[in-house]
Amino acid sequence: MARHEALTANIVVDEDIKSYRVHVSSKYLDLTRRKLELTRLPHRAPEPRTDQWWEPRATVEPLLDFWLERFSWRNEEKELNSKVPQFRTAIKTAASEVPIRLHFIHAQSPHARALPLLLIPPFPFSNLALAHLVMLFTHPIEMNSQSFHMVMPSLPGLGFSDALPDRQDAIETIADMFDTLMRRLGYAKFLVTTAGASAYAPARVDWRIAHYLACYYSTSCMGAHLVSPPLKAPSWTSPLEWVKWKAASLLRRPIFGYCRQDVDDWRKCRSRLSDKTRFPAQLSFGGQGAYEPNALAYALCDSPLGLLLFFLMVIRGARPARDLPSNELIKITELAWIPGPEGMMRLWANCQSCTETGDRRRGKKPKVAITVFQGAQGSSETQHMASHGQPWPLNDEFACPGWARGHYDVVSSSRISGRPGLLAWERPQVIVAGTRGLAKAILTSFEHTAAAALEQVVVGRQVHHQEATRASETTLLTTEADEAASTSQAGAGLTAQGISAQDDEELSEGSPDTVIAVQLG
């Protein structure tokens, strides 16, 4: 708490918010092409000693050819500048001698009852890599669906945001900067959501930022939507919650906020974890004190193909149901290659090695909506990965929404079939549905206070946006028709990139929490 107050007290606000357009010099693009042309690939490896080893050559060679012969950064640049409302602002924190420039997307919804939303991109992706999500939140097809004014910053050191000084505690500082950004835009109250499963994210960066905002900035952050948070079953340190979970798991019936599906999924996960097969460790810094990121940063700064391999490892570690299109993979890589990956590597190492120091403020627990995944429903997903040369998957980590009650006020929960995969690309409607569930619960529980505060948002500085409109009532109706329309919209937006939404179903049963049960697809 003292640490949080010190950060807040020392923050210096530079009110300038400037429109931003991406432009990369032709000289740098020519250099990138020459490096790709001079790429030397390793010799073909003999048969690997284990099927857990990934042989990337069959994947990399076609991508290299595509990058050289068919990919056009100028086309991507034109698309981003014409369709994505980009801005940059400088925020000077306590430990930085110069302001940190933060690049962000700010897209306002035309709907009068839209709510301000901070979306934190999953590390290590930049905000522009997730630009396809904007319309899903700001322009829902169904008029009764909750819309949002979306703010999506790029994490410091990623994309076109400046890197933090290495001596700063990254999570606390970034949370402070994001809260300052929302206030600077005129959003005194806002919601926050993650966009990827934290269980498979390097250092769980995005979840830790959302968690910190919900815990320490409760006067401005009204609630957080957490996707697959790292939850553990209650222990004796929380005796009441432990007794509730034990009773639910033994009786296998809806009780104490748990449902039968929670117990069944937990038992399936335990059965999978009992398998003695050894799996590779999660990609991370650490292990015998290896938190030094500069060697890797130097290597990737000189090799665009090496950086592509890094993103392939991250993406494949998320175990997507299908491969991303080549153009999407190269665009993601270019968005890191152009500014340089050193800030990304250092942020990763910083977050991996640091821990949050303050205790949560005393008082009410932060309100959260939680989306969890029930894991593979059969062998088809594993077979797909093996047939596509992907690293052998890790065992699923099951997280029951009820386990979060020791730390959070869980106001909404969603249970999704299958694995999360690359959620922002494969099933973005799941993120939207979870965020709407949070908004509905918040507005219901604070009908006369929080709702009014959220709706009376005044954008203090006009940055090519319309002034937010005050509405006397705000409702959110999540129906099957709404979600079908959302799925249709997501599919239409992503089909152009060769990505289609996967049929999915959210399951819920017998929980007193606000549970959004939706047929997706």
Q: What is the pLDDT of residues 264-295, one digit of tens each?
A: 666 666 655 555 444 444 455 554 444 577 77
Query: For residues 241 and 299, what is the distance between their CA atoms, to the nearest angstrom?
Result: 48
Collect all residues with Cβ–Cβ distance below 8 Å to 88 and sequence separation of at least 6.
17, 18, 20, 101, 102, 103, 104, 160
Instruction: Report the pLDDT value the prediction gives residue 457, as an integer from 0 to 100.
Output: 53
Instruction: Report the pLDDT value the prediction gives residue 51, as an integer from 0 to 100.
Output: 59
Is residue 136 a contact partner of residue 489, using CB atoms and an 8 Å limit? yes
Beta strands in 198-318 (DSSP E): 221-227
Give all domains of the chain, ordered by start, each with its CATH number.
Answer: 2-40+53-275+291-520 (3.40.50.1820)
Give the pLDDT means over successive 10-residue stretches in the chain (521 positions): 42 70 95 94 70 77 96 96 96 82 97 95 96 96 91 96 85 94 96 88 88 93 94 75 72 70 67 50 48 78 93 87 93 95 88 64 80 71 46 59 84 89 94 96 74 52 40 32 41 33 35 36 35
Is residue 418 a contact partner of residue 396, using CB atoms and an 8 Å limit? no
Instruction: Report the pLDDT value the prediction gives residue 15, as an integer from 0 to 100.
Output: 64
Nearest to 41, CA basis, from 429, 259, 303: 303
Residue reference for tokens 């007290």:
9
Instruction: Report the pLDDT value the prediction gives residue 117, as an integer from 0 to 100.
Output: 98
Instruction: Report the pLDDT value the prediction gives residue 154, as an integer from 0 to 100.
Output: 97
Instruction: Identify the helix (H) or strand (E) that includes residue 91.
Output: strand 86-92
Query: For residues 159 and 296, what is the distance between their CA atoms, to the nearest angstrom?
Result: 18
Half-sphere exposure of 141 (CA within 13 A, CB side): 15
Instruction: Report the pLDDT value the prediction gives residue 78, as an integer from 0 to 100.
Output: 96
Instruction: Report the pLDDT value the prediction gives residue 396, as an integer from 0 to 100.
Output: 58
Query: For residues 170 and 348, what is the distance between their CA atoms, to the nearest angstrom?
Result: 9
Query: For residues 47 and 331, what is the distance between their CA atoms, to the nearest angstrom?
Result: 32
Is residue 179 a contact partner of residue 107, using CB atoms and an 8 Å limit? no
Instruction: Report the pLDDT value the prediction gives residue 75, as an integer from 0 to 100.
Output: 96
Is residue 7 a contact partner of residue 172, using CB atoms and an 8 Å limit? yes
- The helices-and-strands tally (H runs, E runs) of the chain is 18, 12
Instruction: Report the pLDDT value the prediction gives residue 363, as an integer from 0 to 100.
Output: 60
Is residue 285 a contact partner of residue 349, using CB atoms and an 8 Å limit? yes
Instruction: Report the pLDDT value the prediction gives residue 485, as an integer from 0 to 100.
Output: 43
Q: Is the peptide bond before 124 cis (omega within 30 degrees of 0)?
A: yes
Q: Is the pTM of this model over 0.85?
A: no
Instruction: Concatenate the DSSP letters of all residues of 284-329 into one string.
Output: -S-STT----HHHHHHHHT-HHHHHHHHHHHHHHT--SSPPPHHHH
Is residue 32 a contact partner of residue 337, using CB atoms and an 8 Å limit? yes
Collect all residues with Cβ–Cβ distance below 8 Å to 362 and sequence separation of at least 6.
none
Half-sphere exposure of 336 (CA within 13 A, CB side): 29
Query: For residues 23 and 81, what is the distance between their CA atoms, to the nearest angstrom?
Result: 9
Q: For residue 337, what are its two tokens?
A: 């290659």
Q: For residue 97, what are its two tokens?
A: 């001698």
Nearest to 469, CA basis, from 221, 147, 135: 147
Q: How many residues belong to the chain?
A: 521
Alpha helices in 13-145 (DSSP H): 26-37, 57-69, 73-83, 134-138
By DSSP bridging, strand 504-507 and strand 409-416 are antiparallel
